[in-house]
Structure 1
Amino acid sequence: MLPESIVTILPELNKAFFETIYMVGISLLIALIFGLPLGILLFVTDKGLFLQNKLVKAIVGFVVNMVRSVPFIILLVALLPLTKLITGTTIGPTAASVSLSVAAIPFFARMVETSLREIDKGVVEASVAVGATPWMIIKDVLLPEAKPGIVQGITITTISLVAYSAMAGIVGGGGVGDLAIRFGYYRYDNTVMLTTVIILICLVQLIQLVGDQLARVVDKKS
């Protein structure tokens, strides 16, 4: 039998879980759309690469590092005016997705850059030597070669977003974190708090398992 406190908030728990999935899903999609090209740009503009550009590398690198250096809880509060402008509100999962997306984009961009750096430079140099265009090198060489690393980067980013989404509950962002604060912390209900922690642990384990399997599938060398 489930404890009475859990049975009472079961509908809320179900709603909170899907709010967390919703927040993470939106933020991950935006991170993929903007973070992937940003990570590629960080790599190809580096010294010795086919689109070397010190100024672009410095500016993009500075912006990425600046956002990543701000603790998420501070970023969450600092972006409330932007959140209000975009979504018309500062509470709820859609509003929380704005801050989550801003935090996820530079994080994933660095994941992509790291994956690209693991590619053998000889492969890139050979592509340049045969006259391949920058777009062809990116599309036909860099992305296929870095695919397993990028998949792992997506996995790590998703897990980080789950953790960040729990923090969003502090400002009424909804999700499992919000439930833990309202029903667990404010009401001193350790059973609810423990249940939310277990749910988050299970979710993270599932994401990691799926991510590892996908990375093996796309790894042509395995």
Structure 2
Amino acid sequence: MPEVPLGDAGTPGAPRVGVVTFPGSLDDRDAAAAVRLAGADPIPLWHGDSDLHGVDAVVLPGGFSYGDYLRAGAIARFSPVVGAVVAAARDGLPVLGICNGFQVLCEAGLLPGALTRNSGLHFICRDQRLRVETSSTAWTSAYTAGEEILIPVKHGEGRYVVDASTLAELTAQDRVVVRYVGGNPNGSVDDIAGVCSENRRVVGLMPHPEHAVEELTGPGTDGLRMFTSVLGDLLRAAL
């Protein structure tokens, strides 16, 4: 595996959160920084890894994996590391897919639906208000359902689409994690910005929580709680 300087030697006893790097990833280091700020050790995972090296959770970051050839996430879905992530997620490993990571999770079948070209056919980059719809996932337990937060979005293929029966199922099962408020940037059905798996351990969302973790560089710190949420989830599971 190539040298990917995502973290230092680590903190003994701290949870280990894998951060995947694909060819074309842009936000892996930002995700690693968010993991470290939350109190965990970011562990670099390369797209060619078939071993997750004993991590306690995984983040699939944003970017343009494999150049988004064919369509976003379509090639990454067949990488060795995603095969390992899919198997581990089905055994309960917490997984967060951010932007391109969300697209990969949908392509891999861990989350329903698909991400398509924005309705306006333009790349969108702005700070976006969201409403947290559920706090009962591995990645949102530090939020309150109904709370509004501010998280950046930056994508060209972020319009979430899903058939009517699956949408009804997601709604009935409280699996819509976050919705856009104050304007839908991409035309996603029902203003959906993120969803979770049936076991509530896998979450995908188009906004970038790793870009809202420090007052100095982001629009506040609303995104940091997504990373502290999973640490709390891991602690509860260990008790």
TM tier, shorter chain?
Answer: under 0.3
**Structure having the larger proportion of residues in helix:** 1
Structure showing greater relative contact order (alpha-carbon pairs closer than 8 Å, 6 or more residues apart): 1
What is the TM-score when the length of structure 1 is the normalising length?
Answer: 0.23
